Structure 1
Amino acid sequence: MNIDNRIKFRHLLCFLEVARQGSLARACDKLAISQPALSKTLKELETLLDARLFERGKKGSTLTEAGVAFLRYAGPSVQALRDGVNSLRSGVHEPITVQLGVLSTVESLLVPEVVCRLHDRHPALVVSVVTGPSAYLLSRLRVGELDLVVGRMTDSPLIQGLAFEHLYSESMTLVVRSGHPVLNDPSGQKNLEDYPLVLPSAGTTIRKFADSLFVQHGITPSRQRLETLSVALSRRYVLCSQAIWVAPLDAVRQDLRQGELVELDLGMREPGGSVGLCTNPALPVSPAAQWCVEALREVGQEYREGQYP
């Protein structure tokens, strides 16, 4: 079957932006076009494809089953065309690039070692790392703007149609700065609710593990909280305050070794969630992406076996 030559690049761009934003209004802002123009373009595409691509409601626009199927191919196609145009415009041979999405809560341990090994083996390789919430990274992976995403396994609908490969398990722990009053408090965890709390952002996968930690130990969380996925912000705030940080172990491992942070002993540790790599089966796997997958698997295996870090 031949591709209908009436399908234009603008049709694909509008489709991808609405799929990414989940809203016609937000997509219009990004594309700098009016909502009637965007609606007309989507209607043209649906007519040409003879399929309804979005369900429109009060909460926004969600992909239909046909929309999900079309997205698997539209995203990589547009990205491949952009890469081709950029290569011709440059007039020179571009270095090989891998686009890697990384959750901020897992970037501090695994990724630096992976990048070191990649650069040792492939001197001309550019590793472009994008951080952000899981939903943001998965949406970019789905439309072909990222080659891989490294993060925690999620039950979000956004992972549907994507492939997840387990690398290792990472537990959550409670840490405070060295010299924190709770370390000398004989009542221990009974008074933890008296101190400010640092938690992952509400609604995230990692927050569910943090909440589970409190339930397991019968701790009443403090009402005074900082909620963020930023490891840098969490660390600085904890080091200059009386706050208790519910942190991924890998994010604080180095600080624990150096004695700047101290882990609170609750008698048992939260078992942790699965950290792995997420790929889009509809994307053609570039050599750079395959190199990155191999390095991630390698470091992940060493982590599981206790050889790294």
Structure 2
Amino acid sequence: MNIDTRIKFRHLVCFLEVARQGSLAKASDKLAISQPALSKTLKELEGLLNASLFVRSKRGAALTESGVAFMRYAGPCVQALREGVNSLRSGEHAPVAVRLGVLSTVESLLVPEVICRLHARHPALVVSVATGPSAYLLSQLRLGELDLVVGRMTDSPQILGLSFEHLYSESMTWVVREGHPLLTTGEGSLTLEDFPVVLPLAGTTIRQFADSLFVQHGIDPPRQRLETLSLTLSRRYVQCSDAVWIAPYDAVRQDLQAGELVELELGIREPGGSVGLCSNPALPLSIPAQWCVETLREVGQAYREGTYP
């Protein structure tokens, strides 16, 4: 069946912005058009597709099943067209680029090593890195605004329809500062419940692994807690307080080796979640993205074999 030539670029742009913002009002502000004009454009697109793309309510606009299916192709289509136009405007000597979504679990060791190897092999390569929760990064990948997402995300519902490749497994661990009371007091006099705890944000995939540790140890989570995905904030807070950090092992590996943090030996370690790379099968990988995939596999193999880090 031929594509309806009445579907215009503006239809796709408006559809994608509403999907991204979850609100017609926010999308109209972002696109600098009136809300009635945006609503009219969406109705035109729904009429041309003979499908309802959004469920509108007081809370905003949520994608229908048809909308989710259409977004899988509309996002990469618009992104590919933009890249084509930019390639003509920028000239043949413009640097090539890859856009990565990076979860906090791989910020400390995996991704820096991958970027070092990429830049050693491809001097003109620009690596653009976006960080944030897996749900946000995977939505950007689905829209075609990222080439790859790297991290621990296999339990995220947003991964449906995307491709995930396992690289290696990584456990979670409990760490405290050197000289922490839990390391120096007599057995039974203090417990983990007596101290603040640092956890990943609620609702994230990595938080599920952190919560499982409380269950395994039969511990009630302390009321006083810091919830964040920022490794820098977590590390600094733990170093200057008596907080206990439930952290991805890679995030604290170098701190443990340097003696700046100490691992609590509780007899049980969470077996490890799958760290890997996620791609959008609806959009062929660019050559720079293929370079990145190859390097990620290379470093992932080194992790599995114990030769890195």
* TM-score above 0.5: yes
Match of 1:249 in 2: 249
**Aligned counterpart, 1:39:** 39
> Relative to structure 2, which stretch is displaced further, 225-234 or 29-38?
29-38
Letter in 2 for 1:2: N
The 5-angstrom pairing of residues 156-167 of structure 1 reads 156-167=156-167
Q: Distance in 2 between matches of 1:290 and 1:60?
A: 37
- 2:84 is matched by which residue type in structure 1? G
Asked if structure 2 preserves the Cα contact closer than 8 Å seen for 1:189 and 1:219, the reply is no
Any unmatched runs of 5+ in structure 2? none
Q: 1:7 to 1:188 in 2, by over 3 A?
A: farther
CA deviations over 1:168-207 (Å, ceiling 9, x no partner): 1111111011111111122369511111111101111111
The 2-side partners of 1:216 and 1:21 are apart by 39
The yes-or-no answer on 1:149 pairing with 2:149 is yes
Paired AA for residue 300 in structure 2: G
The Cα of 1:104 is off from its aligned counterpart by: 1.9
Deviates further, 232-241 or 187-196: 187-196
The residue aligned with 2:113 is 113
Question: Which runs of structure 2 are paired with 1:224-239 in the superposition (5 Å)?
Answer: 224-239=224-239
- The more displaced of 57-66 and 130-139 is 57-66
Aligned residue number for residue 204 of structure 2: 204
Compute the TM-score of the two structures, normalised by the length of structure 1: 0.95
Say whether 1:78 aligns with 2:86. Answer: no
- Give the 3-state SS of the residue equivalent to 1:105 in structure 2: helix
The Cα of 1:59 is off from its aligned counterpart by 4.4
Q: Is the 8 A contact 2:104 2:131 kept in 1?
A: yes
In structure 1, the residue matched to 2:128 is 128
- Residues in 1 aligned to 2:306 and 2:22: alpha-carbon distance in whole angstroms: 42
Cα offset, 1:34, TM superposition: 3.1
Cα root mean square deviation, aligned: 1.7
Equivalent residue, structure 1, for 2:175: 175
Deviates more, 1:120-129 or 1:183-192: 183-192
The amino acid that maps onto 2:260 is E
Q: Number of residues paired by the alignment? A: 309
Given the alignment of the two structures, is residue 184 of structure 1 paired with residue 184 of structure 2, yes or no?
yes
CA 1:204–1:254: 2 relative to 1, 3 Å: same
Assess if the C-alpha contact under 8 Å between 2:216 and 2:268 holds in 1.
Answer: no
CA–CA distance in structure 2, aligned partners of residues 186 and 123 of structure 1 = 56
Partner of 2:291: 291
Give deviations 1:67-117, integer Å, cap 9, x for gaps: 222212211121122222223333452111111110123211110111111
Contact 1:182 1:188 in 2 (8 A): no
Which deviates more, 68-77 or 250-259? Answer: 68-77
Shift of 1:298: 1.0
In 1, the alpha carbon distance for the partners of 2:33 and 2:240 equals: 47
Hey, what does 2:27 align to over in structure 1? 27
Amino acid at match of 1:302: A
CA distance in 2, matches of 1:33, 1:158: 29
Q: Please, which runs of 5 or more residues in structure 1 have no aligned partner?
A: none
SS in 1 for 2:68: helix
Task: Give the distance between the partners of 1:236 and 1:98, measured in 2 at CA.
Answer: 31
Partner of 1:259: 259
Note closer, same or farther for the CA distance 1:261–1:295 as it changes in structure 2 (3 Å cut): same
Q: TM-score w.r.t. structure 2 length?
A: 0.95
